[in-house]
Structure 1
Amino acid sequence: MGDLAIVTTLKPKEGGSTIKCPMLTSSNYIVWGIRMKNVLKVHKVWNIVETESEEEEKNDLAIGLMFQAIPETLVLQVGELNTAKKVWEAIRMRHVGAERVKEARLQTLMFEFDRLSMKDAEKIDDFAGRLSEISSKADVLGEEIEESKLVKKFLKSLPRKKYIHIVASLEQVLDLKTTSFEDIVGRLKVYEERGPKKKRHTKIMGNSCTQILSLHVSTMMNTKETEDGVEGPIEEEAVDVAMEAETHQG
C-alpha cells in the first residue's frame, strides 16, 4: 500500500469555496504535481512558479501553499530557497528518479504478467493468487489491470489439455467482458474439485468431442435442459458437459 496522504484544506483568496492541498508521499508525485498545480492556479500564483517572478507577496503565497502539501522533512530541505519556482523544481528533482524506478518496476511486472502461465500440477487457487498479487502490485505502482483483461489472462493461461472443454463452455455461455475475476475463479474451482467424472450416460459419438460440445452448449443457451422435472442453471449444465466430453476424449 502507498503512504497515507494527509489533505490540508485552504480557502482561496476570492470566493468562499475551499481547496484541498494534497500531501506529497513517496509514491504519488505525478498525481500530486497535477493537483498542486491546480491549487496554485486557483490561488492565482501558478505564473509565479512558471516565470520565477520576484513578486514578494505572490511568491510567499505560492511557497506557503507548497509547504502545506509536503512532509516536514522535505520542508527542512527546501526551506531556504527564496522563490516558488526554486522550491517547485527542488521537489521535482527529488522525485524524478523515484518515478523512473517506479516505471521500470512496472514494466518488469507487466512483462511477468504477460509470461505467467499455470503449471500442470498447480491448483486454481494458487494460480489465481499469483495473478491477483501481480494485479495488486501494479495498482500500487499506478497501473490498474482491468478485470476483463485479468479474466481473459486467467483462462488463456490454464493448461490446455486439462481445461480446454470447460474454458470453451464458459467462453460460449458467459460474457467475459462483464464476468468478475472472482466469479470465473469460483467456477473453475468447482470444476477442479468435481473432476472429469461422468455425470450422465449420454453417448457421445463421432470423432470430434469438441464439435459436439459446442453444439450442445449452443442448445443450452436457448433452452435449459430439464432433469427429473427440475430446471438447472445453464452454467452447471455446461460444466457437466465439459466434464463428460473430457472423460470420453480421455
Structure 2
Amino acid sequence: MDVSRSKEGSLGLNYPMLSKNNYTTWSLKMKVNIEAQGVWEAIESDGNKSQVEVRTDKMALEIIYQSIPEEIVLSVVEKKSPQEASEAIKTMCVGADRVKKAKVQTLRAELESLTMKETEQIDDLCIRLCGIVTNIRVLGETMEESYVVKKLLRAVLAKYLQIASMIEQFGNLEEMTVEETLGRLKAHEERIRGPTEISGSQLLLTEEEWMKREA
C-alpha cells in the first residue's frame, strides 16, 4: 500500500491493482491493507448488520473498488456488501469449482515434479516451492507444513542429500517449519562454498547434537 500526497496536502492511499495474473498476491496484499484500515471484519461478516456498521461496509467496498480495474467494477457494482464483492472477484479470478479443482491438480503435479536446478541456490528453490504452495492454499486446499518440509528435502540436488538425510533422521519433521529447514540447508550451502574441503564430521551435526537441538 503506497502513500501519496495530493495537491491540497492530504495523504492518499494507493492500493495494489488487480490484474489477470496476480490474484494470489493481490488478495494477500489486500487482506493486509484492509486489516490495516480496521475494516476486515466487513469481509468476514455473516451479513448480520448488527455486527458490522454500514460505514465499515462502505469503507471496505471503497478499498476494494480502488484496487480493481473498471471492467471488474462493472461486474460487482450490484453487490451490496464487501463480502459479496470479494467472493465475486475471487470467483471471476479463481474460477468455478470444477476449474478450481483442475488448477489445484495442476499445481500439485507441478509441486510433485519440482526439483532443484543445477544453477539454483537453496533460496531459489524455496521461492519456487513456496510460490506453488501459496497458490494451492489460496485456492482453499490444505497443505500441511510438514508435507512442504518433506518436499523441500526431497527436491534438493545430490550435494545436499547428506544434510537432508540427517534432517530427516534426527529432526522432528512434523513440527519443523519451512523456514527452519531452509536455514539448515543454507548453513550447509555456505559450508560447501568454502575454499577448502570440510570433513563430514565438521560439516554435519552429530546425532547427539541433533537430539539436543530437538529437546
Q: What secondary structure sits across from 1:121 in the alignment?
A: coil
1:118 corresponds, among 116, 119, 126, to 116
Structure 1 alignment gaps of length 5 or more: 12-17, 24-70, 76-90, 203-212, 225-232, 235-250
Could you list the per-position Cα deviations for residues 176-231 of structure 1 after superposition, in whole angstroms to 9, with x for gaps in the alignment? 110110000011111111217325999xxxxxxxxxx8xx9445556x7xxxxxxx
How big is the shift at 1:172? 2.3
Against the structure 1 CA distance between its residues 201 and 173, is the aligned structure 2 distance closer, same or farther, given a 3 Å change threshold?
closer
Partner of 2:181: 184
- Does residue 1:172 correspond to 2:177, yes or no? no
2-structure distance, mates of 1:183, 1:218:
18
2-structure distance, mates of 1:121, 1:144:
31
Partner of 2:192: 195
Instruction: Tell me the C-alpha RMSD between the 2 structures.
Output: 3.9
Against the structure 1 CA distance between its residues 19 and 179, is the aligned structure 2 distance closer, same or farther, given a 3 Å change threshold?
same
Could you list the per-position Cα deviations for residues 112-133 of structure 1 after superposition, in whole angstroms to 9, with x for gaps in the alignment? 1111111122100000000010
How big is the shift at 1:169? 1.6
Task: Compute the TM-score of the two structures, normalised by the length of structure 2.
Answer: 0.53
Q: What secondary structure sits across from 2:48 in the alignment?
A: strand
1-structure distance, mates of 2:97, 2:49:
28
For the Cα contact (< 8 Å) 1:151–1:181, is it kept in 2? yes
2-structure distance, mates of 1:98, 1:142:
12
For the Cα contact (< 8 Å) 1:117–1:157, is it kept in 2? yes
Task: Compute the TM-score of the two structures, normalised by the length of structure 1.
Answer: 0.46
Query: Which structure has the bigger radius of gyration?
Result: 1
Against the structure 1 CA distance between its residues 169 and 200, is the aligned structure 2 distance closer, same or farther, given a 3 Å change threshold?
closer
Could you list the per-position Cα deviations for residues 10-60 of structure 1 after superposition, in whole angstroms to 9, with x for gaps in the alignment? 46xxxxxx699xx9xxxxxxxxxxxxxxxxxxxxxxxxxxxxxxxxxxxxx
Structure 2 alignment gaps of length 5 or more: 1-25, 32-41, 58-75, 81-87
Residue type at the aligned position of 1:198: I
Against the structure 1 CA distance between its residues 220 and 146, is the aligned structure 2 distance closer, same or farther, given a 3 Å change threshold?
same
Could you list the per-position Cα deviations for residues 144-176 of structure 1 after superposition, in whole angstroms to 9, with x for gaps in the alignment? 3111000000001111x2112111222222111
2-structure distance, mates of 1:116, 1:201:
30
Residue type at the aligned position of 2:168: E
Residue type at the aligned position of 1:73: E
1-structure distance, mates of 2:112, 2:199:
36
- Does residue 1:9 correspond to 2:7, yes or no? no
For the Cα contact (< 8 Å) 1:148–1:178, is it kept in 2? yes
Q: What secondary structure sits across from 2:96 in the alignment?
A: helix
For the Cα contact (< 8 Å) 1:151–1:176, is it kept in 2? yes
Map residues 86-105 of structure 1 onto 2, 5 A cutoff. 98-105=96-103
How big is the shift at 1:138? 0.9
How big is the shift at 1:74? 5.1
1-structure distance, mates of 2:134, 2:106:
14
Map residues 137-216 of structure 1 onto 2, 5 A cutoff. 137-159=135-157, 161-195=158-192, 197-198=197-198
Residue type at the aligned position of 2:122: I
Q: What secondary structure sits across from 1:9 in the alignment?
A: coil
Partner of 1:73: 78
Against the structure 1 CA distance between its residues 121 and 173, is the aligned structure 2 distance closer, same or farther, given a 3 Å change threshold?
same
Q: What secondary structure sits across from 1:132 in the alignment?
A: helix
For the Cα contact (< 8 Å) 2:149–2:178, is it kept in 1? yes
1-structure distance, mates of 2:160, 2:190:
13
How big is the shift at 1:101? 1.8
* Count of matched residue positions in the alignment of Structure 1 and Structure 2: 143
